[in-house]
């Protein structure tokens, strides 16, 4: 997608832009109140408001009503908060993150035992760390890694762990029904330690942070896989299963894995996939599996007409935005807008001819960009920030945000819409409010997930206790033999406060899962739909989905209808969806 490359916002220029903000000469129009050279926290906060919050509600007792734990703005950190809220509510993300951290702790514990046995050979530490973990100075390790860790932790891994710790804290806040906004300082600190571009109190690009966090977790998964591969005797079978659920969300996941396995293993093993061992399971790279798609670039030489294909993985899809409203035909099905923006055909001609290997020369060619596989969680990044001669500008053109979207992967494009094997459902939106990237504000809208879909039928049901790195091997083994069912069901019924309806749910929900203030959510739903007799969790149509508007320390539940209104067309609005998260639905 070469056309999109122009839109990439260079990090350098963005930083300098946000600094330039304070130059008096440039403060001509909108943000006159910024004409203060002291970027104090108070000042920054008023930046963030952008006149948004005041007209929504007063600042008095708002915090009382929050249905979930909230994060406070620590000064230009709405970019962080919006991404954290999004990840927390993104389907299966918390659950998978929990097991990743659990596996890391388990591997770490066993490695330290192995180490103790062979302590005279202090060398295996180096080999365990592996080449992919970033080199860290011992000073950092002492300050950040816990004393129990035998393997030197990379900054990357620390970020992943801090993320999980934050979600644990939020869970416990919800358990205590605390209404105080939490400051995610530890995570932000870890992020800044690991990547200097997030240093300073400037507003940042939420997309950049999202990409960075996902990268971190993916790398952490790879480290884990490596450790297991280098020490295959570390684990026995029960621990090597990926979390599996039977929800209607992306059942394709397992079949995809099968097809990969068939390459080197026989078909029999592939069928009995869940029983088969194989260390790859533990390093179940959920980021790669859930967020990674594959683009297919198909090039046909117009001379010999031979076709070559190239596949590339991707983690989000940039969607170009037309500069003018007129460029967009409002009558076009929103599905088509996104499909046309993503699935493209281009002609390589004039000075940009294609070197055909068969003809051994430059010829004209046609190049299609399609998607062989779209990820389970598809992230669409609307390219609202364009670099022009006057700096980075925001394009506020309205683009509809459909709650349901037809899949545009290669297979689905071939099929009629009604028979397409999958489709997508909107699950999270990060909105950008304001006229520029440096001074804008981010708000996340998240759909309240059904815990049965995220946590039901998990094969990796390890109790909460196994998470702490200090827990001994003995207790781990002991807990492993407990029937998860016996433990799980009762716990969920009693603790989580959500009816599980007999679905066995992974206990990790009680570690870092979302614990929703049920009454409050139901009130919203009931007051809107007046369907008093129906439990929220039994309502199946999307009209009764509950969404949360997460604006730093203010979170309020809204109905799907209210949310749809929020996404609707408003003339001259600078409140625009920026990142769209769609979950794959297969059935």
Summarize as ranges the residues that interact with other proteins (CB under 8 A): 302, 304-305, 347, 349-353, 355, 359-362, 364, 366
427 close to 571: Cβ distance less than 8 angstroms: no
CB of 346 to other proteins, least distance (A): 12
Nearer to other proteins, 215 or 346 (CB): 346
CA distance 315 to 283: 19
Closer residue to other proteins, CB minimum distance, 111 or 301: 301
Compute the Cα dihedral for 519, 525, 527, 531 and give only its sign: negative
Beta strand 404-406 with 391-394: parallel, antiparallel or unpaired?
unpaired
| Whole-number Å distance between alpha carbons of 188 and 203 | 13
Q: Give the ranges where 440-533 is alpha helix by DSSP (H).
A: 451-455, 473-481, 484-491, 509-512, 518-529
**Shorter beta-carbon distance to other proteins: residue 9 or 349:** 349
Q: Among residues 306 and 472, whose Cβ is nearest to other proteins?
A: 306
**Other Cβ atoms closer than 10 A to 507:** 25
Rounded to a whole number of angstroms, the minimum distance from the CB of residue 327 to other proteins is: 20
CB 8, min distance to other proteins, A: 16
Residue whose CB is less far from other proteins, 19 or 361: 361
d(CA 73, CA 551): 9
Tokens describing residue 228: 């297991």
- CA separation (Å) from 283 to 123, 223, 246? 23, 8, 21
In the complex with other proteins, the residue whose CB is nearer, 185 or 355, is 355
Of 20 and 298, the one with the shorter C-beta distance to other proteins is 298
CA triple 523-527-531, angle to 5 deg: 100
Helix or strand (DSSP H, E) at 334: helix 334-342
464 and 511 Cβ atoms separated by less than 8 Å: yes
| Neighbouring C-beta atoms of residue 472, cutoff 10 Å | 10
Q: How far is the CB of 299 from other proteins (least distance, A)?
A: 13
SS3 state at 543 = helix
The token duo for 502 is: 């007999």
Task: Report the nearest approach of other proteins to the CB of residue 3 (Å).
Answer: 13
Q: Tell me how far, at minimum, the Cβ of 370 lies from other proteins, in Å.
A: 17
Residue 71 DSSP code: B
- Residue 368 Cβ, how far from other proteins at the closest point, in Å? 13
Nearer to other proteins, 350 or 587 (CB): 350
- What SS3 class is residue 193? helix
Whichever of 359 and 486 has its CB closer to other proteins, that residue is: 359
Q: 30 or 367, CB closer to other proteins?
A: 367
Q: How far is the CB of 365 from other proteins (least distance, A)?
A: 10
CB of 362 to other proteins, least distance (A): 4
Of residues 76, 96, 101, 89, the one with CA closest to residue 170? 89
- Report, in Å, the least distance between residue 352 CB and other proteins: 5
CA torsion angle for 135, 139, 144, 145 (degrees, to 10)?
Answer: 70
Task: Of 386, 387, 405, give the one whose Cα is nearest residue 322.
Answer: 386
């Amino acid at each position: 997608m070469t056309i999109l490359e122009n839109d990439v916002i260079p990090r350098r220029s963005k930083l300098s832009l946000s600094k330039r903000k304070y130059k008096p000469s440039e403060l001509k129009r909108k943000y006159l109140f910024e004409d203060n050279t002291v970027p104090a926290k108070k000042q920054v906060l008023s930046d963030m408001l952008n006149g948004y919050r005041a007209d929504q509600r007063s600042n008095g007792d708002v915090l009382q009503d929050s249905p979930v734990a909230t994060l406070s703005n620590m000064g230009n950190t709405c970019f962080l908060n919006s991404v954290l809220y999004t990840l927390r509510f993104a389907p299966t993300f918390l659950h998978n993150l929990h097991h990743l951290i659990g596996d890391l702790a388990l591997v770490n514990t066993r490695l330290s035992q192995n180490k103790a046995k062979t302590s005279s050979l202090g060398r295996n530490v180096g080999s365990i760390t592996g080449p992919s973990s970033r080199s860290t100075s011992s000073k950092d390790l002492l300050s950040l890694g816990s004393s129990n860790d035998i393997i030197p932790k990379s900054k990357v891994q620390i970020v992943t762990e801090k993320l999980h710790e934050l979600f644990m804290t939020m869970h416990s806040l919800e358990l205590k029904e605390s209404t105080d906004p939490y400051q995610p300082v530890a995570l932000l600190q870890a992020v800044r330690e690991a990547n200097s571009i997030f240093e300073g109190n400037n507003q940042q690009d939420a997309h950049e942070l999202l990409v960075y966090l996902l990268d971190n977790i993916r790398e952490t998964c790879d480290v884990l896989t490596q450790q297991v591969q280098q020490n295959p005797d570390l684990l026995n079978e029960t621990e090597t299963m990926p979390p599996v659920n039977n929800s209607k969300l992306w059942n394709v996941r397992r079949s995809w894995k099968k097809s990969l396995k068939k390459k080197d293993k026989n078909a029999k093993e592939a069928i009995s996939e869940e029983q088969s061992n194989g260390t790859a399971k533990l390093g179940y790279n959920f980021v790669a599996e859930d967020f990674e798609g594959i683009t297919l670039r198909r090039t046909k030489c117009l001379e010999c007409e031979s076709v070559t294909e190239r596949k590339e993985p991707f983690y989000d899809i940039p969607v170009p935005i037309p500069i003018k409203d007129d460029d967009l035909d409002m009558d076009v099905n929103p599905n088509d807008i996104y499909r046309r923006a993503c699935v493209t055909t281009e002609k390589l001609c004039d000075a940009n001819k294609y070197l055909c290997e068969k003809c051994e020369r430059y010829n004209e060619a046609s190049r299609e960009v399609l998607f062989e596989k779209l990820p389970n969680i598809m992230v669409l990044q609307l390219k609202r920030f364009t670099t022009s001669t006057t700096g980075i500008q925001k394009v506020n053109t309205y683009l509809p945000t459909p709650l349901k979207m037809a899949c545009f992967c290669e297979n689905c494009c071939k099929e009629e819409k009604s028979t397409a094997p999958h489709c997508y459902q909107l699950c999270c939106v990060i909105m950008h409010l304001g006229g520029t990237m440096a001074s804008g504000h981010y708000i996340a809208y998240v759909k309240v997930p059904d815990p049965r879909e995220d946590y039901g039928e998990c094969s990796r049901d390890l109790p909460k206790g196994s998470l702490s790195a200090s827990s001994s091997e003995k207790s781990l083994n002991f807990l492993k033999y407990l029937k998860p069912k016996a433990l799980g069901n009762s716990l969920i019924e009693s603790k989580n406060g959500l009816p599980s309806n007999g679905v066995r749910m992974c206990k990790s929900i009680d570690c870092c899962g979302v614990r929703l203030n049920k009454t409050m959510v139901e009130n919203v739903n009931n007051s809107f739909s007046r369907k008093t007799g129906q439990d929220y969790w039994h309502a199946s149509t999307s009209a009764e989905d509950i969404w949360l508007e997460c604006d730093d320390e203010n979170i309020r539940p809204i109905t799907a209808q209210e949310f749809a209104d929020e996404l609707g067309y408003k003339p001259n609005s600078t409140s625009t969806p920026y990142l769209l998260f769609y979950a794959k639905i297969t059935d």
